[in-house]
Amino acid sequence: MRYCGREFQPDELDLIRELIARQPPLNRYRLSLEVCERLNWRRPDGRLKHMSCRVAMLKMQAHGLIELPAPERIRPVAREIDAHLEEMLVEPLQLPSIDLAGIRLEPVMDRGESRLWNAYIERHHYLGHQPLPGAQLRYFVSSSGQIIAALGFGASAWKTQPRDAFVGWTTEQRERNLHLVVNNARFLILPWVRCKNLASRILALAAQRLAHDWYIRYAYRPVLLETFVEKPRFSGTCYNAANWQYLGDTQGHGKLDTLHLKSKPIKSVWVYPLIPDFRRKLCTL
C-alpha cells in the first residue's frame, strides 16, 4: 500500500502494529517518531517525516489496516472558531483598497496565525480545510494591513501523467526527486476583495520567494511548482496570466481507484518552473 509517497510492505505494516501494541502505549506523536526512526523515513535534510507518517497512519486506520491509540486531547478544528477569530473572519465594514504594488506575502509563523489561516480556508474555500501533509508553507497576503488572501503549498502529487510526461523522468527519478516539486494546494482570495489582476500578482510574488522560504525552513530548494484546477468550476485564468503552463487534464481516478472508476473531479494540471534547468535537477539519480 502506498501512503504519502511511500510504499509500505506487509512486514512494515506488521511493525507499525507491533509498535501500536507496545506497553505502556505510545501516544500518536511518539508513535510517528518511532515509526519514522525504524523505517528510516526522512526528509532530504535528514529530519524525520513524522507529519507525513501521522497522515499516512490515519489513512491506514481509515482503510482498516491498523487501529491507532485514541488521541490524548481533541485539537480544535477549523470549524470550531472562537470569538476572537470570528471577529476577524467577517466581512470588514470598509472594503480594502488594493494597491498591487504594495501587497505583501508573509509566511504563517506561529500557532495563532496557523489557526487563523485554517479558519479562513475552512470558512471561505470551497474545499474547506484539511491538513497539508509533509513539508509545507502557508502564506497570508495583505494590503494596507488587511488580510486579503491566503495560499498554501505542500507535498506534490505522487504521480500524474501530464506532469510526469512534461518532466520526462523515470519512476526511479520521480521517487528520488519528487520532493523538489511543490503543490499549490490552496489559493483563496477573500470573497469581499475585488481587484483586477490580483490573483496573478499574488502567484507571481509567491513564485519569486517560495524557493528561498522553503530553503530557510527545509534546507533545500524546490525547482517546480504544480497545481490542479477543478473543471468546470474554474478555468485556470489566473495561472495562465501568471505564466504557469497548462499540461492537460487528470483522468478523474482517486489514489486507490484500482478499478479505474472515475470517482474524482477532472482537474487541469498546471506547472511553473522555478529554475531554467529544472529537468536536469529532477531527472538525476
- pLDDT-based confidence at residue 263 (cuts at 50, 70, 90): low
Amino acid 253: pLDDT: 65
Q: pLDDT tens across 273-285, in order?
A: 999 999 999 999 8
- Name the phi and psi angles at 52, rounded to 5: -60, -35
Q: What is the pTM of this model?
A: 0.76
Mean of pLDDT values over 103-118: 93
- pLDDT-based confidence at residue 93 (cuts at 50, 70, 90): low
CB-based contact 274:243 (threshold 8 Å): no
Amino acid 258: pLDDT: 44
Q: pLDDT tens across 141-198, in order?
A: 999 888 999 999 999 999 999 999 999 999 999 999 999 999 999 999 999 998 999 9
Q: Which domains, from first to last, does the chain contain?
A: 2-62 (no CATH), 83-282 (3.40.630.30)
Comparison of pLDDT for 46 and 141, the residue scoring more: 141
- pLDDT-based confidence at residue 10 (cuts at 50, 70, 90): very high
b vs e for 231-268, b when ≥16 Cβ sit within 10 Å of the residue's Cβ?
eeeeebebbeebebeebebbeeeeeeeeeeeeeeeebb
Could you tell me whether strands 181-189 and 146-155 are parallel, antiparallel, or unpaired per DSSP bridges? antiparallel
Amino acid 94: pLDDT: 61
Mean of pLDDT values over 222-240: 96
Amino acid 256: pLDDT: 44
| Residue 225 burial class via C-beta count within 10 angstroms: exposed 0-12, middle 13-18, buried 19 and up | buried
- pLDDT-based confidence at residue 82 (cuts at 50, 70, 90): low
Of 53, 236, 33, 210, residue with least CA distance to 139: 210
- Coil, helix or strand for 247? strand
Mean of pLDDT values over 101-129: 92
Comparison of pLDDT for 52 and 32, the residue scoring more: 32
Residue 271 has pLDDT above 70, yes or no: yes
Average pLDDT taken over every residue of the chain: 88
Residue 70 has pLDDT above 80, yes or no: yes
Amino acid 255: pLDDT: 47
Mean of pLDDT values over 27-36: 92
What is the percentage of the chain residues whose pLDDT exceeds 90? 65
Mean of pLDDT values over 5-19: 93
- pLDDT-based confidence at residue 83 (cuts at 50, 70, 90): low
